[in-house]
Amino acid sequence: MTGDVAVLGAGMHPWGKWGRGFVEYGTVAAREALADAGLDWRQVDSIVGADTVRGGYPGYVAGATFAKALGWQGARVASVYAACASGAQAVDAARAQILSGLADVVLVVGADAAPKGFFRPAGGDRPDDPDWLRFRVLGATNPTYFGLYARRRMAVHGDTVEDFAQVKVKNAAMGALNPNARYRKRVTAEEVAASAVVADPLRLLDICATSDGAAALVLSGMEFARRHGAVDPVRIRAVSTVTPRYPRTVLDLPDIATDSAGSTVAAGPVADTFRASIARAAYEEAGIGPEDLSFAEVYDLSTALELQWYEDLGLCGEGEAAKLLREGTTALGGHIPVNVSGGLASFGEAVPAQAIAQVCELTWQLRGTAGDRQVAGARVGVTANQGLFGHGSAVIAVR
């Protein structure tokens, strides 16, 4: 075990389409996290920014961009990019600095101002870029991939469009209780079914939107936390940032091939899929198992993908996710609530911020301050998502 780090502060700029720049959003979240921690920006030893590729050059050096916006004060700085796993990578970089003794207090910030519609690759012709190729050669936008994955679950496990709709119904009900969510309106299964088809079998309400938003955390070493008066803070116990292994039997875009052709690594049997390996690495580091979890925050790019995470996190056996949902196990009040924040279904994607936002939700739940969406007796929470190009992302926090 590598050792715990304390979460002293958590802050967020509400998700939406606000028409302003990512720096403004990130600065709001950062100041809120600092206030929550009871610290001044000048007390921060290091700042780690999760990058956005949509913010021009400032987005590529997000750490320094936020440091300047808050006021240059000489802190260490790092900027990281790992697509949707950027926030987890930022948390991991901050944790490494703390555990190595390079910093006592680290501010982690992610923010984005997303375009209208689905995400597109950056401009220019790049025939060696798998993300560019999947758009230009396959025409496989993100919703196309979500639809293909939903079809796979239907064919392999017998999931139905009604099951997918119930994921949205559940998450919308919890998002309605979250003041930071973009969509705060309950929906019915009939409303999901009546929404426009985007990528068959998925409809508009099955797929998350693109959003503006920001999230921030103030992390510290346990000794600093005690000196600061935080006797029993929320603690990050594990961060998983693993990569896939060949052979890959389930296609994950943008990679078009699933085998190791052309690789220097010999193909051999693998114990589990990439997503399952993300969770396994986190469990092993934390010294816990899925049976120890109080709740989970997972990456519901689509309703079908949330169901897949149930299995990949070990909340149930393969093919049993829809049964878990139907029984109410993953709803608020169930044995293992999932996406009590409302998930991406209620927030939408603000890419560099979303893995950090998941840890914010873990923090509020473990503190017992989540209000009407509080999970009773929450002691252990896990986040899970996946970054394009093979970036794992999972965080386990405890209280």
Q: What is the pLDDT of residues 348-385, one digit of tens each?
A: 999 999 999 999 999 999 999 999 999 999 999 999 99
Q: In which region does residue 368 sit, left (phi positive, over 0), alpha (psi from -120 to 50) or beta (all else)?
A: left
Structural domain boundaries, residue 226? 5-117+212-234
Task: Clarify whether residues 279 and 341 are in a common domain.
Answer: yes
**What percent of the chain has a predicted confidence (pLDDT) above 70?**
96
Structure tokens, 273: 């899929």
Contact 11, 360 (CB under 8 A): yes
**What percent of the chain has a predicted confidence (pLDDT) above 90?**
82
The CATH number of residue 219's host domain is 3.40.47.10
How far apart are the C-alpha atoms of 138 and 120, rounded to whole Å? 13
**How many structural domains compose the chain?**
2
Task: Clarify whether residues 303 and 264 are in a common domain.
Answer: yes
Domain-embedded: residue 197: yes
Domain-embedded: residue 18: yes
CA 61 distance to own-chain centroid: 21
Domain-embedded: residue 108: yes
Closest by alpha carbon to 385, among 81, 168, 49, 85? 85
Task: Clarify whether residues 45 and 94 are in a common domain.
Answer: yes
Domain-embedded: residue 268: yes
Task: Clarify whether residues 382 and 362 are in a common domain.
Answer: yes
**DSSP 3-state of 386:** strand
How far apart are the C-alpha atoms of 352 and 213, rounded to whole Å? 9
**What is the signed CA dihedral for 336, 341, 345, 349, rounded to 10 degrees?**
-120
Domain-embedded: residue 122: no
Residue 1 confidence (pLDDT) above 50: no
DSSP 139: -
pLDDT tens-place string over residues 172-213 = 999 999 999 999 999 999 999 999 999 999 999 999 999 999
Task: Clarify whether residues 79 and 112 are in a common domain.
Answer: yes
**Angle at Cα 324 formed by Cα 322 and Cα 330, nearest 5°?**
115
Cis-peptide into 269, omega within 30 deg: no
- Tell me the average pLDDT across 55-81: 97
The DSSP code sequence of 71-118 is -----EEEEE-BTBTHHHHHHHHHHHHHHTTS-SEEEEEEEEEPPSSS
Task: Clarify whether residues 258 and 352 are in a common domain.
Answer: yes
Task: Clarify whether residues 176 and 250 are in a common domain.
Answer: yes
Task: Clarify whether residues 308 and 381 are in a common domain.
Answer: yes
| Bridge pairing between strands 212-220 and 380-387 | unpaired
Structure tokens, 180: 């930071």
Task: Clarify whether residues 91 and 223 are in a common domain.
Answer: yes
Task: Clarify whether residues 192 and 227 are in a common domain.
Answer: no
Q: In which region does residue 388 sit, left (phi positive, over 0), alpha (psi from -120 to 50) or beta (all else)?
A: beta
Q: According to the model, what pLDDT value does residue 270 have?
A: 66
Task: Clarify whether residues 175 and 285 are in a common domain.
Answer: yes
Domain-embedded: residue 17: yes
Domain-embedded: residue 124: no
Task: Clarify whether residues 177 and 220 are in a common domain.
Answer: no
Provide the whole-model pTM.
Answer: 0.95
Domain-embedded: residue 284: yes
Element (H, E) at 359: helix 351-367
Structure tokens, 398: 């405890």
Residues 6+ apart with CB under 8 A from 117: 210
